[in-house]
Structure 1
Amino acid sequence: MHPTEKAAVSTRIIGLISGTSVDGIDAVLVEVSGTELDLKVELLVGKTYPYPSELREKILAVGAGVAISMAELAEIDDAIAQVFAQAAQNIQIGHQLATLIGSHGQTVYHRPPKEGAGGAGEQRSRGREMLTPLGYSLQLGRGELIAYLTGITTVSNFRVADIAIGGHGAPLVPRVDAYLLSHPEEGRCIQNIGGIGNVAYIPPRYGDWLSQIRAWDTGPGNSLLDLAVEHLSAGAKTYDENGNWAASGTPCHPLVEQWLNQDYFHLPPPKSTGRELFGVTYLHQCLKDAQEYQLNPADILATLTELTAASIVHSYRTFLPEMPQRVLLCGGGSRNLYLKRRLELLLASIPVLATDEVGLNADFKEAIAFAVLAYWRHLGIPGNLPTATGAPQEVLLGEIHQSQFLVLKQEQ
């Protein structure tokens, strides 16, 4: 047991997250027991609740760097918390109520730490002369308001503790992946494809296996694809269902090779990224580059899909100690059949499956992970993995917001 760890009992928890694609709030109700190696999670129900269209547009604008006032930022923060709280209430209908919520919130800005930022001690020693600032990550949808509106203790703001000691605050899910998806004899890559792609390489579960896990953001996932679909369809579509549109085109491989020269793909892990890099500006540059090859819309989508697949495989071959024996996909991109086929082709003989096929729902794995991180925070168990985030040590993740609503009810 960790020094602060409480005894674990079976707990009903809600996990909430909206990813970089801003396509809705993924909500789960899960039953969690055990602690780490004996961790068990049962998914009772999972649903995605779309944002109101006006709120989604505001979130996308903020993420794209549109200037707003502090008053407007506060309004968006409150509005996100309210729809997250509504999702938490709705997911419980017909079920025994949860006693804890883990809410990731909505990322609107992410800045990785500068190279060489180091840990907290190094930062303190520089004092005012500090030249390599810590990272910064902003998730809206404040936990205290969710706790107030739902009457359920809420854990939120998971990334800041890791960032405060020099880590990237991302990716945070690999420790959960390690205990739910590791195998005693098989090395695995758990590849999430949300708006941004991220991988956790998990070696076979023996010896000092936990310290050998590696994880990082691989680059664009669905972010460029969704933006391109909206642009190319003049707003009629927001995503490429099953990758059907891209599948009707032909990828331009010289263009993919050109794009893979982007600096991010060659930075060694730990590393993290977001829409700040792979967003609207990046897409417009891609579209400009494509003009030279006279690509039609289907070809453009096929080429952007190839970039996602090729950047994932490039990162494996460049940064992994060895190639995995199996790749397990999760996130919205795992349902893009064309993208999955391209990954299978580029990975040759390595099987590519969805996490569903090993017992963990691929659509809601990230929401499940934040339910587990809230559970660990409640028990006093660290949630980060230093080999994934670059932090110098393990830390407790998340800020706990007790439900004042429940306290008031008890006092009456």
Structure 2
Amino acid sequence: MTIRSLGLMSGTSVDGIDAAIADITGTECDLQVELIDAATYPYPEALRKQILAVCAGEAISMAQFAELDEAIAREFAQAALTLLGDRRKADLIGSHGQTVYHRPPTADAPLGYSLQLGRGAAIARLTGIPTVSNFRAADIAAGGQGAPLVPKVDFCLLTHPQQTRCVQNIGGIGNVTYLPPRHPQGGSDGEKIPTPASAIAATQLPRAWDTGPGNALLDLAVQHLSQGQLAYDADGAWASTGKPCEALVQQWLSHPFFQEPPPKSTGRELFGKAYLQQCLADAEALQLTDADILATIAELTVAAIARSYRDFLPQPPDEVLLCGGGSRNGYLRRRLQLRLSESFAAPVAVLTTSAVGLNADFKEAIAFAVLAYWRYQGIPGNLPHCTGAKVPMLLGEIHRWMG
């Protein structure tokens, strides 16, 4: 039976709501996803500024908090309705919501915390479509990081029979899913059947973690250096005119987060405005130009990715598949290719997920369409060895409007 699921996603960059409609069949290793349509809907500028202010720690009243939650839900619902139009319907919606706070587990607070606004009950009410939301809570309740949540989707849709792949999302924060080859098993009649996710040998497990800052830190730097005239550096054009300061990159890579082994996750709480101010102070002490500062911050993003691969992967990848906004940044992509080749002393193919059949711009929205589908099917959506959870969990809360 085919289920039409609509995924909604807004990431750490807070640059808009990605919406994707997909027809989904199968369960796990036989999962089939056909993208029907997708689009990005920018936030109204006033709402975006309010979200970013709250992410940066600005205090608001509970009444203002409730209003913000409702405003985000309305934008998500409108994105869904606009994409559907008058001629299409969806069976369900999977909404990630807008993360405004993420605190991974620590020794002092072993149960993490993650808050996404844009409540699913309001989206279900406004659209009339059953909505699954609050996906991270169940993994956190099971002792996990609550992130990254897409590795099981990556495993089911992007694993190659022979090649080792890394699926590298460069959104506001970078995260990777490592996919060892999935060798088919022989069925009783000799037919080749895929290995189910529940039967993967420990040595062949996918792995996943946040690699560090992605576009969010770069965007903050661009906005600061352009005095608010630019929101981001299109295609890395400005950064490409500068020269990365390698000594500064290595200094920044000494941050404890980069040494911490997976599972691990992070967000603007660590790599946000306060971190940028320290980066700017370090750069100004070395009298770097604005272009050099951007080139150096971009280099931190790709150097963190390459170092985490070198330190935490069991073997080098044959391919790196990029997705997210950073996959469209030609400068970042070239620098990552160079860093990976240097780290492994051999060329590493850097492509996008679009090159292997999964739209790179909307992969995260597609993933939450799948996670909602799995929740409806009663299929766990997390991979405990990737998030640190004790057990597989059904992810998300189901909201129905009965009006």
Report deviation, 1:133. 3.1
Report deviation, 1:402. 1.0
The equivalent of 1:356 in structure 2 is 354
* Kept in 2: contact 1:29–1:46 (CA 8 A): yes
The equivalent of 1:156 in structure 2 is 133
* Kept in 2: contact 1:188–1:325 (CA 8 A): yes
The equivalent of 1:389 in structure 2 is 387
The equivalent of 1:28 in structure 2 is 20
- Which of the residues 255, 258, 279 maps onto 1:262? 255
State the one-letter code of the partner of 2:328: R
- Which of the residues 3, 10, 32 maps onto 1:40? 32
Change (3 A) 1:392 1:42: same
The equivalent of 2:75 in structure 1 is 83
Change (3 A) 1:210 1:245: farther
Quote the Cα distance in structure 1 between the aligned partners of 2:75 and 2:180. Answer: 39
Three-state SS of the structure 2 residue aligned to 1:404 is coil
The equivalent of 2:5 in structure 1 is 13
Change (3 A) 1:132 1:108: closer
Find out whether 1:346 has 2:339 as its counterpart: yes
| 1:322-362 residue CA offsets vs partner (Å, 9 max, x unmatched) | 11111000000000000000011111101000000000000
The equivalent of 1:404 in structure 2 is 402
Matches within 5 A, 1:114-133: 114-115=106-107, 132-133=109-110
Matches within 5 A, 1:72-221: 72-93=64-85, 95-115=87-107, 132-206=109-183, 209=200, 211=202, 212-221=205-214
State the one-letter code of the partner of 2:304: S
- Which of the residues 302, 312, 337 maps onto 1:309? 302
Quote the Cα distance in structure 2 between the aligned partners of 1:351 and 1:92. Answer: 36
State the one-letter code of the partner of 2:37: V
Percent identical among aligned pairs is: 65
Residue correspondences, number: 382
Quote the Cα distance in structure 2 between the aligned partners of 1:286 and 1:94. Answer: 49
* Kept in 2: contact 1:377–1:396 (CA 8 A): yes
State the one-letter code of the partner of 1:169: G
- Which of the residues 369, 390, 393 maps onto 1:371? 369
Unaligned runs of 5+ in 2: 184-194, 342-346
Quote the Cα distance in structure 2 between the aligned partners of 1:210 and 1:109. Answer: 35
The equivalent of 2:224 in structure 1 is 231
Quote the Cα distance in structure 1 between the aligned partners of 2:325 and 2:294. Answer: 16
* Kept in 2: contact 1:192–1:329 (CA 8 A): yes
| Runs of 4+, deviation exceeding 2 Å | 206-211
Quote the Cα distance in structure 2 between the aligned partners of 1:165 and 1:398. Answer: 13
The equivalent of 1:120 in structure 2 is none
The equivalent of 2:316 in structure 1 is 323
Quote the Cα distance in structure 1 between the aligned partners of 2:117 and 2:272. Answer: 19
Three-state SS of the structure 2 residue aligned to 1:47 is strand
Quote the Cα distance in structure 2 between the aligned partners of 1:40 and 1:95. Answer: 23
Report deviation, 1:96. 2.3
Report deviation, 1:88. 0.5
State the one-letter code of the partner of 2:52: L
Quote the Cα distance in structure 1 between the aligned partners of 2:267 and 2:236. Answer: 22
Unaligned runs of 5+ in 1: 1-8, 116-130, 406-412
Report deviation, 1:95. 4.2
When the two structures are superposed, what TM-score results if normalisation uses the length of structure 1? 0.91
* Kept in 2: contact 1:102–1:154 (CA 8 A): yes
Find out whether 1:248 has 2:245 as its counterpart: no
* Kept in 2: contact 1:203–1:209 (CA 8 A): no
| 1:291-318 residue CA offsets vs partner (Å, 9 max, x unmatched) | 1221111111100000000000000000
| 1:127-147 residue CA offsets vs partner (Å, 9 max, x unmatched) | xxxx54300000000000000
Change (3 A) 1:294 1:272: same
Report deviation, 1:99. 1.1
The equivalent of 1:53 in structure 2 is 45
Three-state SS of the structure 2 residue aligned to 1:144 is helix
State the one-letter code of the partner of 2:282: D
Quote the Cα distance in structure 2 between the aligned partners of 1:57 and 1:226. Answer: 14
* Kept in 2: contact 1:178–1:210 (CA 8 A): no
Three-state SS of the structure 2 residue aligned to 1:286 is helix
The equivalent of 1:125 in structure 2 is none
Worse-matched range after superposition: 290-299 or 22-31:
290-299
